[in-house]
Structure 1
Amino acid sequence: MAMIIAFFALAAAPVLAADVGFEEVKVANGAEPPLTVGIWYPTNAPATPHSLGNFTQTVAPDAAIAGRRLPLVVMSHGGGGWYDGHYDTALALAHAGFVAAAVSHAGDTFDDQSRVLQLWRRPAQLQRLVDYMLDEWRWHGRLDAARVGAFGFSNGGFTVLVAAGGIPDLSKIAPYCEAHPDHDLCEALKHAGVDPHSGADVPASAWVHDPRIRAVVIAAPAFGFAFGRAGLGSVRAPIQLWRAADDRHQPHPYYEEAVRADLPRAPEYHVVANAGHYDFLPPCDARLSRKTPEVCNSQPGFDRAAFHEQFNSDVVQFFEATLR
């Protein structure tokens, strides 16, 4: 019996490959245009620096995958982002033996904000990504369908919370903005000409859940106030929840704290001192800092690079513990 237990423990252990493979794929999405997806995975092929978007990543493009029965983590970016928005976390996961797959959410990316408040589209796109990875990806036979996690930041945090069983009530947005017209969310909606009442009649059936997702990491979830205890009552997966203590984009206690308080099972909760909302994004180089200072610049004394080393380590450890 001891030998049998040892065998299965070994089979479920992560494969620590020498390097990280990467590929960008197009995923068919019904009648809509294909979704663009980035995938990071363990490989034994030599990796070299490559310019991908705004960052340089050390990867082996289109290399062969290493390992079997690999756990999968799907990733959902924040509003106005794209699949590469958390590349350093994806790299850390791949180095630890996970496959990380991130989707660019059509209608809510840096180059297409046409459907930013059609939030029900995002969980459906994430489910399509899980379908693709488990059934269609060229290395899908190397994945363990019983070990699927999800990571999300801001709008992506909202997305993975819905995927894990959450049901938001978007009719809460308008009264929230009436009470807090100076909050970033409400100012952004006004600036974009988006009616905060526009999602008020979204039925609960519009929100797509994915029971294959077994564990969730959420950083600075958008629209946290829209769920409530009833809306989060069906969320059973273990959750690691992160809050930036100096998040002026999503003021406390309406977002992370609202989620933490109403989850039926207490999450692993982290509050990052002196951090702002965008400190959950990777550190920027000098060029990108000049281009987008509002996203790149941290509070004086906050070391984003050092924080991300710890953040990525904690994310990896959480998924290692929950996706056994």
Structure 2
Amino acid sequence: MKTTRKILPYAAAQILTVLLCLFTAVAHAAGFKRLDIPADANGPALNAMVWTPCAEPAENVPFGPYILHGRRDCPTVGDKLPLIVISHGHTGSFLGHHDLAEVLADAGFVVAAINHPGDSFADPGRSGDLSVFVERPTDIKRLIDYMLGAAPDAVKIDPQRIGFFGFSRGGYTGLVLAGGAPDFKHADVPCPDPRPPVCDEIARGELPTQPLPVDARIRAFVLADPLNEFPAASDLKNVTAPMQVWASQYGGDGVLPHNAPALANTLPRKPDYHYVPNSAHFAFLAPCPAGMKKSVPEICVDERGFDRVAFHKQFDASVLAFFEANLR
């Protein structure tokens, strides 16, 4: 059994303080911009959000339902910057982890997130289909290709220092990119009522006939409450990159409470594992403004006295420390 690391507020606060001191000279805010990645032979157009180090003071900027902390379209500071790509969960969005993106960009990282076609808040039309599970890893590969090629800041990115953050289905996406071979037929993933098409597709044996894409450019992975489609050790035998795995106590949205601990114990390389007491699945999403708490309480309102704002100060600091240790 791998060691379980619970959240230690004092230690996490120390980490955050040290890191903020270290990187004050690098940037003063997270710059952010919207980008559109053109369609190509491998998939449709991708809507992206990019955060970069910025030398201007931060502002609170309304953007959709969120308040972003940074500067819109701020010139990027620095060269040979590490890149982090973000994959959201089931019908999520590229803003779902904006607070983490802001912390990383303020510390000298370029961060890029996309809306997965067919499985995002803006485009949920195929979210219940197996096709989105097949296409998600390719979406991220295309994002990395763009960030290293045609993106405005491509020349400022170090292609040898790329990391990945994924939540829920985004965690599944990261495991595939790291070399995992999903076994949809035997995975410990419940089929809700009403049954989505993916359940019937799997039952009929309509499974991928070719291996899903791996991306060796990604050197380190952070997975938050990942959807575990990898029931056997053999499914993960090729996953050897450094990983940080986070587990909520209660799970949700198809992630069972024991899934992330089982995954952490199955990985061939011991991950940096964190268990978060009293949390449910959506605690890993950025804290919601008041309007979202009223309109979408199912993903914004935490129960059992869980303090999402306080947790994210620790969570963001720990993720930053992990990427610093493995990509700097």
Name the TM-score, length of structure 1 as normaliser. 0.87
CA pair 72-298 structure 1, distance change in 2 beyond 3 A: same
Query: Secondary structure of 2:38's partner?
Result: strand
Shift of 1:165: 1.0
CA pair 20-219 structure 1, distance change in 2 beyond 3 A: same
Moved over 6 A (4+): none
Shift of 1:265: 0.4
Alignment partner of 1:306 is 2:310: yes
- In structure 2, the gaps of 5 or more residues are 1-21
The counterpart of 1:198, out of the listed 194, 201, 210, is 201
Residue type matched to 1:196 in 2?
A: C
> 1-side partners of 2:197 and 2:209: how far apart?
21
Q: Is the 8 A contact 1:225 1:259 kept in 2?
A: no
Query: Secondary structure of 2:171's partner?
Result: helix
The counterpart of 1:122, out of the listed 136, 150, 163, is 136
Alignment partner of 1:50 is 2:55: no
Shift of 1:192: 5.5
Instruction: Render the CA deviation track for 1:101-134: whole Å, top value 9, x for unaligned.
Output: 0011001011322222320100000000010111
Alignment partner of 1:79 is 2:90: yes
2:297 corresponds in structure 1 to 293
> 2-side partners of 1:258 and 1:30: how far apart?
37
Q: Is the 8 A contact 1:171 1:197 kept in 2?
A: no
Shift of 1:204: 6.1
Q: What is the correspondence of 1:123-162 to structure 2 with a 5 Å cutoff?
A: 123-162=137-176
Q: Is the 8 A contact 1:74 1:100 kept in 2?
A: yes
Structure with the greater relative contact order (CA < 8 A, sep ≥ 6): 1 or 2? 2
Instruction: Render the CA deviation track for 1:7-54: whole Å, top value 9, x for unaligned.
Output: xxxxxx977211111111110231543100000000113432211121
CA pair 269-67 structure 1, distance change in 2 beyond 3 A: same
CA pair 265-293 structure 1, distance change in 2 beyond 3 A: same
2:221 corresponds in structure 1 to 216
Q: Is the 8 A contact 2:181 2:211 kept in 1?
A: no
> 1-side partners of 2:112 and 2:317: how far apart?
18
Instruction: Render the CA deviation track for 1:201-243: whole Å, top value 9, x for unaligned.
Output: 4346341110000000000001x14342111111111000000
Q: What is the correspondence of 1:1-324 to structure 2 with a 5 Å cutoff?
A: 16-31=26-41, 32-116=43-127, 117-118=130-131, 119-173=133-187, 176=188, 185-187=190-192, 190-191=193-194, 193-199=196-202, 200-203=205-208, 205-222=210-227, 224-249=228-253, 250-253=255-258, 255-324=259-328
CA pair 158-259 structure 1, distance change in 2 beyond 3 A: same
Q: Is the 8 A contact 2:180 2:230 kept in 1?
A: no
> 2-side partners of 1:167 and 1:289: how far apart?
37
Q: Is the 8 A contact 1:42 1:66 kept in 2?
A: yes
Instruction: Render the CA deviation track for 1:126-181: whole Å, top value 9, x for unaligned.
Output: 000010111111111111110000000001011111111111011225xx56xxxx
Query: Secondary structure of 2:179's partner?
Result: coil
Shift of 1:62: 1.6
Query: Secondary structure of 1:196's partner?
Result: helix
Aligned-residue RMSD, C-alpha: 1.8
Q: Is the 8 A contact 1:19 1:95 kept in 2?
A: yes
- In structure 1, the gaps of 5 or more residues are 1-12, 178-184
> 2-side partners of 1:192 and 1:138: how far apart?
43
Q: Is the 8 A contact 1:241 1:269 kept in 2?
A: yes
Report the number of matched residues. Answer: 299
> 1-side partners of 2:95 and 2:194: how far apart?
26
> 2-side partners of 1:211 and 1:204: how far apart?
22
Identity %: 38
Q: Is the 8 A contact 1:25 1:36 kept in 2?
A: yes
CA pair 75-193 structure 1, distance change in 2 beyond 3 A: closer
The structure with the greater share of residues assigned to helix is 1
